Chains A and B, each alone.
Chain A
């Protein structure tokens, strides 16, 4: 289902590349090349998502974000930035952005985050689901119990959080960085395959003794939970 996305990016090459990719995914993309123009269009409030570069001519990204939030426009904002330090990322999130992506990034990473943000907007409109189901997998967030095919699975607390995050993004790609940020709340890159090890342990617990795989590896992007 296509959505309306505002892309505020002054680098034409990046903007064209992102706009093309997002359009191919079925979204309609509007573009602005400076902060002032971006703010002007975003205040319209009809967008489902704003992708905002941090360093922009006329008005920088964080100022645009601040102005938007001050005007009580709660459209999800994804910040793009070449400022890669942990402090910069945290600053961006503290200013009210919903996600923060450091340049250079792969399109798969951006798309995964865009989908997660759009999805979050949907579920924000819906009241929270009491029970998550993916195929024959049942997750009860209240008691934190997981069953597959009626059989209870024994998960460690962190494995449960990992699975719940996957389930809330069912059918969508989740990247390693997203897992690190959302499940562990770490905003740095450990540079090892530590996340892969956790995912493969979770996969073993989910799939051992069952024929149908649930947790899929998406090459060059990350993982996806799907029946």
Chain B
């Protein structure tokens, strides 16, 4: 499986890189540490020797150099050179200190000691004595080097091990990931093969794979729900269109049969009316579908929710009066700016008002209230009719859901479904509450706080 291999290689490479970083750091620190210790020792030794010269003169220095060579450890370097850089006494193996002449101070150099065959790295201090001679003292890197070589070898072996271990870990990890992803893919495959009831089993650990599986399962639930809803909708659409279509057909047929022109005209008018009501049903279904699919958000604008409520209440006031009800408004004294689809929201609220007029009790009061609380705008329409018992409220929201099947003349049972879809378009919801007695149908919409656009001056 190439993906598994890629993951394994990647894990191995990452392990190797992180180990190189750690080991490199260790190497750099120990190397540095050893060198600075040696430097301290070398500087000290040079200082002692030049002190001897200052206090005891040339003879004392010669003795001290001899003693240092004789009794010091084999790494010690000590020599006196004449003005031209030739060794007068000391343990240098005949090689001049370095090219480019002598200079006072500390330096690292490669040199060979007397009796040795290879040049070694050494730390040296060079002093110029007042008599013009050069005093060279220092240490070659001996045991320190050996230790370092061991260390370096171990580090290298460690590095190889780290790389191999990383590779093995990577393989195990890749196997695990591959198995978990494979499970999900297998379920997805079965779902593609049209078994939408399949769900991914969870391990119960709540890890990232479980969460992914949960998300996918939730998505599948939603899809099944939507498909079920779509099936119901298609069924009810077919059912609900059957009645007006057969009425239309009957009227059209009767019109072809009759001889009386007045009756014929009346029948044809009825045909047109039936066709119009069919169109209205189709438009409403279309509008609901569009709102649920969230199209139309590009037509959102800023407007005053108070004005929206006032205008609709004013529009329906005479109609309510004809129906024997009183329509009252309950509006704030300040504007309520909101960002949304003014036309669709107007349509949603007009549906609620029409329902209130249609089902509210004659002589009752219909109230249109616009308010703001908890970062939400609420547009509520309440009536004093029979209300909707809580167990029937879900049915009332459903497309083509009609509570009283005897009232087949009015509406197609799409008003509340459309209002709800429009509320969803605005990330809001449709609430059905008890008005004791009567119904409160309210659309509650969140105020947009994340909007990049500012509330226009005219609405502040």
Contacts and interface: CB of A to CB of B under 8 A. Distances in A.
B319 A84 contact: no
A220 B354 CA distance: 24
Interface in B276-320: 279-280, 282-283, 286-287, 290, 295-296, 299, 311, 314-316, 318-319
Contacts, number: 67
B84 interface: no
B264 interface: no
Interface in A183-210: 184, 186-194, 197-198, 201
Contact of A84 (B283, B314, B322, B347): B283
Nearest to B296: A87
Interface string A149-166: 000000000100000000
B65 interface: no
A158 B354 contact: no
A187 B280 CA distance: 13
Interface in A62-93: 84-87, 90-91
Nearest to B277: A191
B346 A188 contact: yes
Given A87-B299, A184-B311, A186-B346, A194 B319 contact: yes
Contacts of B346: 186, 188
B136 to A, nearest CB: 93
B350 interface: yes
Residue among B269, B280, B315, B341 with the highest chain A CB neighbour number at 10 A: B315
A85 B286 CA distance: 7
A73 B140 CA distance: 97
Interface in B410-441: 411
In the complex, which range does the number of interface residues on chain A fall in?
20 to 34
B272 interface: yes
A84 B354 contact: no
Nearest to A198: B318
Question: B interface, by DSSP: helix, strand, loop or mixed?
Answer: helix
B282 A84 contact: yes
A191 B411 contact: yes
Contacts of A86: 287, 296, 341, 343-344, 347
B43 interface: no
Given A104-B279, A184-B311, A197 B322 contact: yes
A85 B314 contact: no
Contacts of A186: 343, 346-347, 350
B383 to A, nearest CB: 15
Nearest to A105: B279
Interface residues of B, number: 29
Contacts of B280: 189, 191
A143 interface: no
A90 B299 contact: yes
Residue among A189, A190, A193, A198 with the highest chain B CB neighbour number at 10 A: A190
A86 to B, nearest CB: 5
B354 A106 contact: no
B275 interface: yes
Contacts of A191: 280, 354, 411
Nearest to B318: A197
Nearest to A186: B346
Given A84-B282, A84-B286, A86-B344, A190 B322 contact: no
Contact of B283 (A85, A198, A220): A85
A194 B286 CA distance: 23
Nearest to B295: A87
A193 B357 CA distance: 12
A84 B296 CA distance: 13
Nearest to A200: B318
Contacts of B322: 197
Contacts of B311: 184
Contacts of B287: 85-86, 188
Nearest to B290: A85
14 contacts: A85-B286, A85-B296, A86-B341, A86-B343, A86-B347, A87-B290, A87-B295, A87-B344, A102-B283, A188-B343, A188-B344, A189-B280, A190-B354, A192-B354
Given A106-B272, A191-B354, 9 more contacts: A85-B290, A86-B347, A87-B299, A104-B279, A184-B315, A187-B343, A191-B411, A197-B319, A198-B315
Interface of A: 84-87, 90-91, 102, 104, 106, 158, 184, 186-194, 197-198, 201, 220
In order of increasing CB-CB distance, the 5 nearest A-B pairs are A188-B347, A87-B296, A197-B318, A84-B283, A86-B343
Interface of B: 269, 272, 275, 279-280, 282-283, 286-287, 290, 295-296, 299, 311, 314-316, 318-319, 322, 341, 343-344, 346-347, 350, 354, 357, 411
